[in-house]
Amino acid sequence: MTTATTTIRFAGAAQGFNWLPVFVAEDRGLFAAHGLTIEFHRLGSVEKATAAVREGAVDLAITPPEGAIVDHLGGGNLRVIGSNAERLPMSMVARPGLSELAELRGARIGTSSLTEGTSIYTRRLLSRTGIEPDAYTFVLAGIHTARWTALQNGEIDAAPQPVPWSLLAQREGYGVLGDISEVIPEIVFAALVARADWLDAHDDAAGRLVRALAEAHDIVNDPAADATTTPIYQRITTPDEPDLAAAGFTITRDLGMWPSGLRVSEAALATSIDLMVEAGLISEESRGDAAGVVDARFTDPFTD
């Protein structure tokens, strides 16, 4: 335990279901035990979270890694220091009347970004069904809660939705057309992103943060801790739906979403890079350089 106290400005888009270990660490006093005070910044989109780190408005973010990879390849300062999540408990949810992925030709599909996260997953899912990107239209509908509202209002025809919202949609009569985890079994879904210069200047604090989160990942992955972790998951997902929250938490944990020690696995990173190449966000020739975005100095002690 350290006696130093450091405030870290920590950002995310929705700070939803994948943030469970963060809120477990907060509620269980793990940050405080490591001499940290966390200042939370909820920014509403993954691109805003990435930009906030790049511009120095916050110190770190949990956000998809694609923006950091593009920044790194362009000679920028962003680095990935750990994995928050490496599985996708997410399904394509569609308005009533649509029952197959093939029916999404010509559809308006909600996404949180055109260059990160959900749009990339959608391209892979639909291309495996023979539907190429020019056969549908992306609509910037926002994070998962906003996409659910847009779907209910008829502003979009379909959207990738995580559990427990996919379970809620199915209960309400919406179609669940395909599980993204079946075509993308392992990926850096959300990464811990920081600036290289901040990491160099705050090496000790960054290490303490990763250690606190690693302890929280162990708690979240332990079924014996469900009595304390499930209510937190419910609080940050579907506060009024305890049964849906419990089911969603079980599905997510059973997929292996939260990696031990926040370690970035080679397979998950390779998938993230593959999808970026498929989407035309980076070139085939940049694959090797793209992997250099990972700064593993904080997670190496947790590697088996």
Percent of the chain scored above 90 by pLDDT?
Answer: 88
205 and 137 within one domain: no
What is residue 3's predicted lDDT score, i.e. its pLDDT? 54
Query: What pLDDT digit, counting tens, does each position of 69-82 carry?
Result: 999 999 999 999 99
What is 95-127 written as a DSSP string? Answer: -TT--SGGGGTT-EEEES-SSSTHHHHHHHHHH
Question: What local confidence, expressed as pLDDT, does residue 117 receive?
Answer: 82
- pLDDT tens figures, 4-27: 689 999 999 888 899 999 999 999
pLDDT tens string 83-139: 999 999 999 999 999 999 999 999 999 998 888 788 989 999 999 889 999 999 999
The CATH number for 174's domain is: 3.40.190.10
C-alpha–C-alpha distance, residues 194 and 212, integer Å: 17
Number of domains within the chain: 2
Residue 80 sits in the same domain as residue 192:
yes
Q: Indicate the residue among 165, 182, 199 that finishes a domain.
A: 182
Residues 117 and 13 in one domain: no
69 and 193 share one domain = yes
Domain-embedded: residue 270: no
82 with 96, same domain?
A: no
Give yes or no: residues 50 and 148 share one domain: no
- Distances in Å between the Cα of 241 and the Cα atoms of 22, 94, 232, 294 are 21, 21, 13, 38
Q: Check whether residue 79 and residue 105 sit in a common domain.
A: no
Work out the pLDDT band at 268, boundaries 50, 70, 90.
very high
Mean pLDDT of the chain: 93
SS3 269: helix
**Can you read off the two tokens belonging to residue 237?**
């997902």
The answer on 145 and 96 residing in a single domain is: yes
R_g (Cα) of the chain, nearest Å:
19
Distance CA 149, CA 69 (A): 31
What pLDDT score was predicted for residue 301?
Answer: 53
Last residue of a domain, one of 160, 182, 204: 182
Query: What pLDDT score was predicted for residue 4?
Result: 60
- Which phi and psi angles does 2 have, rounded to 5°? -105, 155
pLDDT surpassing 60 at residue 302: no
Close Cβ partners of 161 (under 8 Å, ≥ 6 residues apart): 90, 91, 92, 93, 144, 147, 148, 169
| Tokens representing residue 298 in the block | 């904080």
**Global confidence as pTM:** 0.88
Angle value at C-alpha 175, between 172 and 180, nearest 5 degrees: 120
Rounded mean pLDDT, 276-292: 94
Task: Tell me whether residue 165 is in a domain.
Answer: yes
- The parent domain of residue 194 ranges over 6-86+188-264+276-302
Are 12 and 45 in contact by the 8 Å Cβ rule? The answer is no
Q: Which of 126, 151, 182 is a domain's end point?
A: 182
201: which residues sit within 8 A by CB, 6+ positions away? none
- Residue 161 contacts residue 91 (beta carbons within 8 Å): yes
User: Domain check: are 68 and 202 in the same one?
Assistant: yes
pLDDT at 44: 84
List CB contacts of 81: < 8 A, sequence separation 6 or more. 60, 191, 192, 193, 194, 199, 206, 210, 262, 294, 295, 296, 297, 298, 299
Q: Identify the residue whose tokens are 């960054």.
A: 206
Q: What pLDDT shows up at residue 114?
A: 85
Residue with tokens 């990339």: 120
Are residues 80 and 205 both part of a single domain?
yes
Does one domain contain both 75 and 194?
A: yes
2 pLDDT band, cuts 50/70/90, is very low
Report the pLDDT value the prediction gives residue 1, as an integer from 0 to 100.
45
Which tens digits make up the pLDDT trace of 203-230?
999 999 999 999 999 999 999 999 999 9
More confident residue, 209 or 1: 209
Whether residue 23 is found in the same domain as residue 154? no
Any idea of the CA torsion for 122, 62, 65, 43, to the nearest 10 degrees? 70
Say what the pLDDT of residue 304 is.
37
pLDDT (tens digit per residue) in 161-170: 999 999 999 9
Report the SS3 class of residue 199: helix
The rounded distance, in Å, linking the Cα atoms of 205 and 35 is: 8
User: In the prediction, which pLDDT does 116 show?
Assistant: 77
Q: Does a structural domain hold residue 29?
A: yes
β-sheet bridge partners, residue 191: 63, 83
Please check whether residue 34 lies inside any domain of the structure. yes
Q: Is residue 271 part of a domain?
A: no
Give the Cα separation of 189 and 257 in Å (integer): 9
Range from 84-88, 140-144, 154-158 carrying the lowest mean pLDDT: 140-144
In this prediction, what percent of the chain has a pLDDT beyond 70? 97
In a domain, 269, yes or no: no
